[in-house]
Amino acid sequence: MNQIPQQEIDEPVDVVVMAAGRGTRMKSSLPKVLHRLGGRALLSHVIQTAAQIGARNVVVVTGHGAAEVEQAIGSSNAAVPLQFVRQVPQLGTGHAVQQAMPVLPDDGTVLVLSGDVPLIGADTLRALLETSAGRRLALLTIEFDDPTGYGRIVRDIDGESVQAIVEHKDADEEQRAIREVYSGVMAVPARLLKDWLARLDNRNAQGEFYLTDIVKLAAIDGVPVLAKLTTDALQVAGVNSPTQLAALERAWQLRQASTLMEAGVRLADPARFDLRGTLFCEADVEIDVNCVFEGAVSLGAGVRVGANCVIANARIDTGAVIHPFTHIDGEKTGVTVGAGALVGPFARLRPGARLGADVHIGNFVEVKNSTLAAGAKANHLAYLGDATVGERVNFGAGSITANYDGANKHRTIIGDDVHIGSNCVLVAPITIAAGGTVGGGSTVTKSTEPNVLTVSRGRQVSFGDWTRPKKAPKA
C-alpha cells in the first residue's frame, strides 16, 4: 500500500463510480455492487473511501438494477454529497463516464473508480491525485504474472510516460506480453476529461467507447500521462463471481485480523474470524474461533469471547467473559455488558440490554430492553423483557417477565435482593419490592411489599389408588 502523509488535496476532487454492470457471472438477481464484503455493499466501501479523501461530490453511474442500487446506497451513505446518473444503454466505460460529466464542474480533478473494486485505499488515491496534480492524467497500475483480460500499459521508449492502454481483446502478441496493467482507477483534470470524452469513438473489437482511449488523446494533445504503480493486489481486486467475492472476503478478514493482533489482541485462529463493522479492543482481549463482529463493538481490557459468538453493536467492559455460542445484537439501541459480567453459553442479549458489573446471564437466557444492576443473576432458561432488575437479584430457571398484553409493552421492576423462584411468571406492569421472594411456580399479577414471600399457585392435591390410562390392545 502506498503510504503518504494524511493531507487535504489542493484541487477539488469529484469522484465518478462506475456501477452499471449486470454482473452476470454472479448468477444473482441482486445487482453486483450490492453484494456484501465485510458486512457492507461493495459500492458502499468505495463511497466511504471517497469520503475519506474529502471528495466534493460522488457521482454513481448506475444501469442494471439502477433503482435498487440507488435506493440501497442513497439511504445509507450520508458522509459525502451523492448523485446518481444512469447509463442506458450501456455502451462501454467511456460512455459510462460521459453520463456523469454534465453534473460535474470543470475546476476539479475527476477520480474514476469502480463499484466492484471495494478495497481501494485512501492513501493510494491521495498518491494518485498527487501524481495528477490537477494537470496530468494519472493511472493506477499493477503488475500481474498473468495479466489476461486486463488493459496493457504501453509506455514510451524511455519508460517514463504512458502512450496507450490496449485492451486485451485488441492487443497483439507483443502487447499481451506486457505485465503492467491498468487497474481501472484514474485521476484526470475535469476540463481535459470532458474534451477527450467528446472525441471518443467505438472502432474496436467490442464496438464500445473505451475510457482508456483517452490516453491516446492525451498523448496527441501533449498532456503528460503518468502511471502510479501499486504492489497491493488486494486494493485493485475486482469482484465478478461468488468465488472471487469469497476470496476477497477472506483476504480482507485476514488483514483485519492481522491489524488486531499487531495491536495485541489474541485471536485463536485468524483464519476463523469475521469483522463486519468496527471493533475496538483494549489490552489483553482474547477471541476464540468462529466469532463474528458486526456494527460497532467495543471490548474492554481482559475481555474473553468464547467460540462461535455473534456480537453486534455492543460495549463489553473490562474483564467480562462471553461464553461460547452467545448472540448479542444491540441493533440501533445498543447493548452494554458490565465489568466482570459472565454471559452464556447459549445466551441472547437483544437491543436495550444493560448489564451491570458482575451480572451473570446463563445458558438459554434472553434479555431485551432490560437493565440488570450489579450482581444480579439469571443463570438458566429465563426471559427478561422490559425489566428493571436491582442488585443481587436471583432470577430463577424457567421464569419470565410477561411484558406484552397483545397490544402494548409493560415494565417489570424487581428491587434489590429479590429472589424469584423457578418457573415463575411476572405479569407486567408489576413491582416486586426489595428483599422479596416469589415462590417457585407462581404467577404474580399484583405488586408486592418489601421483604415478603409471595406464592401464587394451586394447592397440591394427591389421589390414591390412581392408575394411568393404558392403550387399548390392538385388534
Residues 276, 196 within the same domain? no
- Predicted pLDDT of residue 78: 63
Closest by CA to 15, choosing from 43, 47, 45, is 47
Task: Give 55's pLDDT tier (boundaries 50, 70, 90).
Answer: very high
Q: Of residues 168, 327, 380, 410, which has the active-site annotation?
A: 380
Domain that holds residue 84: 13-236
Which grid coordinates are listed for 188?
484526470
Express each pLDDT in 124-154 by its tens digit. Answer: 999 999 999 999 999 999 999 999 888 899 9
Express each pLDDT in 411-469 by its tens digit. Answer: 999 999 999 999 999 999 999 999 999 999 999 999 999 999 999 988 888 889 888 88
Residues 171, 305 within the same domain? no
Query: How many CB atoms sit inside 10 A of residue 331's CB?
Result: 12
Q: Please report whether residue 241 resides in a domain.
A: no
Residues 184, 151 within the same domain? yes
Q: Please report whether residue 245 resides in a domain.
A: no
Q: Please report whether residue 260 resides in a domain.
A: yes
Q: Please report whether residue 464 resides in a domain.
A: no
Q: Which residues does 87 contact at the CB level (< 8 Å), separation at least 6?
A: 20, 61, 62, 63, 95, 96, 99
Q: Please report whether residue 165 resides in a domain.
A: yes
Express each pLDDT in 328-363 by its tens digit. Answer: 999 999 999 999 999 999 999 999 999 999 999 999
Residues 40, 153 within the same domain? yes
Q: Which residue has the cell 476540463?
A: 191
Q: Which residue has the cell 424469584?
A: 420
Beta-sheet pairing, 137-143 with 180-189: antiparallel
Residues 176, 264 within the same domain? no
- Predicted pLDDT of residue 76: 64
Alpha helices in 133-224 (DSSP H): 173-176, 190-198, 214-221
Tell me the residue type at 365. V
CATH number at residue 207: 3.90.550.10
Express each pLDDT in 282-322 by its tens digit. Answer: 999 999 999 999 999 999 999 999 999 999 999 999 999 99
Task: Give 75's pLDDT tier (boundaries 50, 70, 90).
Answer: low
Task: Give 6's pLDDT tier (boundaries 50, 70, 90).
Answer: very low
Which grid coordinates are listed for 66?
439502477
- Higher local confidence (pLDDT), 438 or 76: 438
Residues 442, 295 within the same domain? yes
pTM, to two decimals = 0.86
Q: What is the DSSP string of 155-170?
A: E-TTSSSEEEEE-GGG
**C-alpha span between 455 and 439 (Å, rounded):** 5
Q: Please report whether residue 468 resides in a domain.
A: no
Residues 266, 221 within the same domain? no
CATH number at residue 371: 2.160.10.10
Closest by CA to 399, choosing from 435, 438, 370, 368, is 438
Q: Please report whether residue 463 resides in a domain.
A: no
Residues 261, 127 within the same domain? no
Task: Give 474's pLDDT tier (boundaries 50, 70, 90).
Answer: confident
Residues 218, 137 within the same domain? yes
Q: Please report whether residue 420 resides in a domain.
A: yes
Burial zone of 9 (CB within 10 Å; 0-12 exposed, 13-18 middle, 19+ buried): buried
Residues 175, 303 within the same domain? no
380: annotated active-site residue: yes
Express each pLDDT in 82-92 by its tens digit. Answer: 999 999 888 99
Query: How many CB atoms sit inside 10 A of residue 258's CB?
Result: 12
Task: Give 472's pLDDT tier (boundaries 50, 70, 90).
Answer: confident
Residues 376, 441 within the same domain? yes
